[in-house]
Amino acid sequence: MPQEIVILECTEARALGKPVSRYMTTRNKKSPRTPNRL
């Protein structure tokens, strides 16, 4: 089953002038409407 890599980025930290936190995860391409949970 094909998967794609998704990068999540915290935009609130950027607004406060702090370093941005990034998280990588994968999701199934067949169900793009299913939300990923950390």
Residue-wise pLDDT for 9-29, tens only, equals 888 887 888 888 899 999 887
CB 6 within 8 A of CB 26: yes
At 11 the pLDDT is: 82
Helix, strand, coil shares, percent, the chain, to 5: 15, 35, 50
Higher confidence at residue 35 or residue 27?
27
Domain boundaries, the chain: 1-33
Measured CA angle at 2 (ends 5, 6), to 5 deg: 15
Check residue 32 and report its DSSP letter: T
At 12 the pLDDT is: 86
Residue 22: partners with Cβ closer than 8 Å, 6 or more residues away: 7, 8, 9, 10
